[in-house]
Amino acid sequence: MTDDHDLPVLDDGPLQALKDEAGDAVARAFMEEYLLMLPLRAAKVIKGLAAEDIEPGIEALISLKVSSAMAGAVRLEGYCGSLERALRRGHVPDAGAVKSVLLANIRMVVREASHRGHLPTRRQGSDGSAE
Mean pLDDT per 10-residue run, the chain (131 residues)? 74 95 95 94 90 87 96 97 94 90 96 89 51 47
Check residue 118 and give its pLDDT: 85
Nearest Cα residue to 34 out of 123, 131, 111, 120 = 120
Predicted TM-score of the model (pTM): 0.85
Check residue 131 and give its pLDDT: 47
Whether the CB-CB separation of 102 and 38 falls below 8 Å is answered with no
